[in-house]
Amino acid sequence: MNINIDNLQAEEFRLQQLANYLFGQSRASVGTSPSGIRLPDTGNVVNMKAPQTALPDPHFPSGGSGATDLAKLSTLSQLPIFDYMQYHQDYYFLKDRPVAQLPEMGNFPVDVLRKEFPILQEYVNGRPLVWLDNAATTQKPSCVIERISQFYRKENSNIHRAAHQLAARATDAYESARESVRSFINAGSSNEIVFVRGTTEGINLVAYTLGAGYLKSGDQVLISNLEHHANIVPWQQLRERIGIELVVIPVDDSGQIDMEAYKNLLTSKVKLVSFVQVSNALGTITPAKKMIQWAHAAGAKVLLDGAQSVSHMPIDLQELKPDFFVFSGHKVFGPTGIGVLYIQNDTLDELPAWQGGGNMIRDVRFDNTTYQNGHARFEAGTGNIADAVGLGAALEFLRTIGMHSIAAYEHQLLLYATEKLKQVPGLEIIGKAADKASVLSFTLADFSNESVGKHLDEHGIAVRTGHHCAQPILRRFGQETTVRPSLAFYNTKEEIDWLQDALFKLISQR
């Protein structure tokens, strides 16, 4: 086996950072400070207009409830060594690697990581909670819960606008979260990171602003058949408003984008292609990089919906090169009500402002108002400061585990779960693309999807049943609804076995 020393060293470094999280070093020791103020307790000179990142912040006691408990349970030497990093970065797309050669799942420290998630210790209907509704929302680690609590205990203030200590701390925390986002998705600049309410708001912002100039009546917007309603309805609304044409890229019978059809649709009339990186209904991983390259070659801009990809695989926007990228905090172990819209620098200043109000302006007079450049232009009013900070903590947590490790572990778990579900008589998996992440949509002969969901809930197993806000793709496969377990890195083989057992119990009632 070829071991890449650089990768192992990188992984060792990450393990050390992970240990810092788990065993109680300060979780909030990075921050930025606004200007003009010297913080007496740190000596940091703060810059109100151009906050810097990574100044040490002594306001946080080291450790926290989660860390203290974990310290009792384990030590660094007990942490298994990750060995996934030696595998190629495009792991998911290596179709010809035999399963037997994949790394053992046992090396991923899932049991240690699960302890960071207090809710995973819950019991539901007398059974340990099995959370398999991760595509709807993910659970939150202690470091996120604590970080939000610390914000309200120690830092709470409005940002950017006041000349006092707490404004400096809050601005530090908020801008440092923006930098965490930038680094997590490898954007070129934190100026490209706009905090929004979530994926839905991000796509609506893009539809609104592109519809105010860039898109004209008769221009085509391509979306795929896989899209969530959040990436369909805003474009329909724009069609009503300005008369764009909405054209749908079909998928093949496995649930993958029909690339031949896509190529033929990419005419000079297409001004935007907006599509999902991972389908929430089927789990299909679309060939995003190729699709983006083709769209750009045809002269169209691209919006990539990352709502279901960010928690499952490394994201490198400088490699993918979309013009827009959106995701929601709550689907990546962060809080609800906060999300990210990435707008590539070249497009950023072409777009008109969206909502008007405080924060987004440079100068206001009754006869004329000028706007900020960059992300500030799209962040009118007081944003969701505390939850942005919580999202930053979630992304730092993931970074310390390593998204390559997470992707590799989850890939194994998905293969295992697929095999287990296939063994259940009458179960049909909906969505059989070769490249999939997290999602296992299915139907079970003789049982309504709702009754399957209820039965699983009685066994403490949370799955989603319904149309998953993606009716067109389910109808493409002749379904109105499915049962949808969806995995995250804290799920285990044992939980999949419980899912299979519960389904066997149900069909024994046939």
User: What residues are labeled active site?
Assistant: 469
Region near ligand PMP per CB under 6 A, out of 93-101, 304-312, 408-416, 482-490: 304-312
- Going by the DSSP 8-state scheme, the letter that residue 314 receives in this structure is -
Indicate whether 175 belongs to the interface with ligand PMP (CB under 6 A): no
Angle formed at CA 348 by CA 90 and CA 326, multiple of 5 degrees: 45
Amino acid at residue number 431: G
- Give per-residue burial for 389-424: e unless 16+ CB within 10 Å, then b: bbbbbbbbbbbbbbbbbbbbbbbbbbebbbebbeeb
Indicate whether 225 belongs to the interface with ligand PMP (CB under 6 A): no
CB 242 within 8 A of CB 209: no
Identity of the residue, 307 or 351, whose beta carbon is nearer to ligand PMP in the bound complex: 307
Identity of the residue, 114 or 229, whose beta carbon is nearer to ligand PMP in the bound complex: 229
Among 109, 198, 337, 485, binds ligand PMP (CB under 6 A): 198
Smallest distance, ligand PMP to C-beta of residue 196, A: 9
Listing DSSP states for 365-411 in one string gives -SS-EEE--GGGGG--S---HHHHHHHHHHHHHHHHH-HHHHHHHHH
Q: How far apart are CA 148 and CA 136, in angstroms?
A: 22
- Token pair, residue 503, equals 């389904």
Smallest distance, ligand PMP to C-beta of residue 412, A: 23
Say how far residue 319 (Cα) sits from the centre of its chain. Answer: 17
Query: Angle 65-73/5-22 helices, nearest 10 degrees?
Result: 110
Region near ligand PMP per CB under 6 A, out of 8-16, 71-79, 147-155, 305-313: 305-313
Cα→Cα distances 28→59, 76, 168, Å: 8, 21, 15
Q: With CB under 6 A, what is the number of residues at the site for ligand PMP?
A: 13
Region near ligand PMP per CB under 6 A, out of 25-33, 120-128, 226-234, 361-369: 226-234
Contacts of residue 97, defined as CB under 8 A and 6 or more positions apart, other chains included, come to: none
Angle formed at CA 208 by CA 202 and CA 214, multiple of 5 degrees: 115
Indicate whether 469 belongs to the interface with ligand PMP (CB under 6 A): yes
Indicate whether 280 belongs to the interface with ligand PMP (CB under 6 A): yes
Among 230, 244, 388, 433, binds ligand PMP (CB under 6 A): 230
Smallest distance, ligand PMP to C-beta of residue 465, A: 14
Among 140, 147, 228, 420, binds ligand PMP (CB under 6 A): 228
Indicate whether 328 belongs to the interface with ligand PMP (CB under 6 A): yes
Indicate whether 344 belongs to the interface with ligand PMP (CB under 6 A): no
CB 4 within 8 A of CB 85: yes
Indicate whether 147 belongs to the interface with ligand PMP (CB under 6 A): no
CB 55 within 8 A of CB 371: no
Indicate whether 305 belongs to the interface with ligand PMP (CB under 6 A): yes
Indicate whether 308 belongs to the interface with ligand PMP (CB under 6 A): yes
Q: How far apart are CA 304 and CA 327, in angstroms?
A: 9
Q: How far apart are CA 260 and CA 194, in angstroms?
A: 34
- Going by the DSSP 8-state scheme, the letter that residue 93 receives in this structure is G
Region near ligand PMP per CB under 6 A, out of 77-85, 196-204, 352-360, 405-413: 196-204
Smallest distance, ligand PMP to C-beta of residue 239, A: 19
- Look at the block and give the residue holding tokens 């046939």: 510
Smallest distance, ligand PMP to C-beta of residue 230, A: 4
Q: How far apart are CA 238 and CA 207, in angstroms?
A: 7
Helix (H, G, I), strand (E, B) or coil at 134: coil
- Restricting to residues 76-135, name those near ligand PMP by CB under 6 A: none
Among 276, 341, 430, 499, binds ligand PMP (CB under 6 A): 276
Identity of the residue, 24 or 314, whose beta carbon is nearer to ligand PMP in the bound complex: 314
Indicate whether 162 belongs to the interface with ligand PMP (CB under 6 A): no
- Token pair, residue 364, equals 């206001």
433 has which bridge partners? Answer: none
CB 359 within 8 A of CB 333: no
Region near ligand PMP per CB under 6 A, out of 86-94, 172-180, 197-205, 442-450: 197-205
Helix (H, G, I), strand (E, B) or coil at 260: helix
Indicate whether 200 belongs to the interface with ligand PMP (CB under 6 A): yes
Identity of the residue, 215 or 303, whose beta carbon is nearer to ligand PMP in the bound complex: 303
Among 144, 300, 302, 307, binds ligand PMP (CB under 6 A): 307
Smallest distance, ligand PMP to C-beta of residue 228, A: 3
- Give the count of beta carbons closer than 10 Å to the beta carbon of residue 428: 16
Indicate whether 465 belongs to the interface with ligand PMP (CB under 6 A): no
Indicate whether 379 belongs to the interface with ligand PMP (CB under 6 A): no
Task: By CB under 6 A, name the binding residues for ligand PMP.
Answer: 198-200, 228, 230-231, 276, 280, 305, 307-308, 328, 469
